[in-house]
Amino acid sequence: METRELRYFVAVAEERHFGRAAQRLGIAQPPLSRAIQQLERRLGVTLLDRANRTVALTEAGAVLLCEGRAALAAVEAATRRTRRAGSGLVLAMKAGASTELLRRLLDTYGEPVEVVLCGIAEQARMLRDGRADAALLHLPFDATTGFDTQALHTEGQVVVLPPGHALADRPHLLTAETAALPLARWPGPDGEFVDGPGPQVRDSAQLYELIALGRAAAIVPESSGTHLHRDLPAVPLIDAPTVTTVIAWPPHSRSRALAAFVHAAGLIGQAA
């Protein structure tokens, strides 16, 4: 199966319309129809149901859409990483992750690294399609499914409260005691917010502003709670799961540069 055929099929499967797919691909509709027919003939299965003037996926079509996307991403990744070979690594991380940890990692590695800030879903996509070589993730929150990982740092979590809050003087808190707090809600992987009493936030500046105003509280890893905003009280949450910062990369990827970077991460993980 050729990449061209896969691109054509994925376009039709996503658009469910030969005309629009052809337009998206920048070709005319007839060659697209023929290409899909040929693909079906070569695979020996029907991929699309063209009954009733609508295009629907068959079961085999659904499988090929899913597997084909992954295969196209792998081919793109090969192209991108080959072009980038020799120049620096690209590291995808979330905004708000520990800058202190990152600084130590980059220092230990020594070579130049391009850092890209994005959301968790985008991080995974960038690793898969080769736009990034590695990503910083946080267990147990982020799924590392499909990637190799190396632990960098493990820490507890703290509750960040408005100044003068009733709980601010406590030596530590339990998760149950935070139930009544207006805990800030972050957007999930799908961009949606879960329901809850607290305000919705999209970045850490916004979060800390809301806390300072007494409108929110937040449960965050120690390092972000204590290092960034000394003026806000942060109380250890002793029964919360510990947060592990890990570096993740596609399992087959083992270029010299990436291997050295992971090795540097291992040194930091040991030291911590």
Q: Which of 17, 14, 46, 47 is nearest to 29 (CA)?
A: 17
User: CB of 35: closest distance to DNA in angstroms?
Assistant: 5
Is residue 253 involved in binding a copy of itself (CB under 8 A)? yes
Is residue 120 involved in binding DNA (CB under 7 A)? no
Distances (CA, A) of 189 to 41, 122, 200: 38, 9, 15
**Chain residues 145-174 in contact with a copy of itself, contact rule CB under 8 A:** 145-148
Is residue 17 involved in binding DNA (CB under 7 A)? yes
Q: Which of 258, 256, 247 is nearest to 89 (CA)?
A: 258
C-beta of 59 vs 107, nearer to a copy of itself: 59
Is residue 52 involved in binding DNA (CB under 7 A)? yes
Residue 28: name its binding partner from a copy of itself, DNA, none (Cβ under 5 to 8 Å by kind). Answer: DNA
Residue 38: name its binding partner from a copy of itself, DNA, none (Cβ under 5 to 8 Å by kind). Answer: DNA
C-beta of 31 vs 197, nearer to DNA: 31
Report how far residue 11's alpha carbon sits from residue 256's, in angstroms, rounded to the nearest whole number: 36
* Packing angle of the helix pair 3-15, 29-43 (nearest 10 deg): 110
User: CB of 75: closest distance to DNA in angstroms?
Assistant: 16
Is residue 35 involved in binding DNA (CB under 7 A)? yes
**Chain residues 48-87 in contact with a copy of itself, contact rule CB under 8 A:** 58-60, 62-64, 66-71, 73-75, 77-79, 81-83, 85-86
Backbone angles phi, psi at 190, to 5 degrees: -90, 5
**Chain residues 94-133 in contact with a copy of itself, contact rule CB under 8 A:** 130
CB 23 within 8 A of CB 31: no
CB 160 within 8 A of CB 218: yes
C-beta of 79 vs 99, nearer to a copy of itself: 79
Taking the alpha carbons at both ends of the chain, their separation in whole angstroms is 48
Report how far residue 136's alpha carbon sits from residue 115's, in angstroms, rounded to the nearest whole number: 10
C-beta of 49 vs 107, nearer to DNA: 49
Residues that bind DNA (CB under 7 A): 4, 17-19, 26-31, 33-38, 50, 52-53, 55
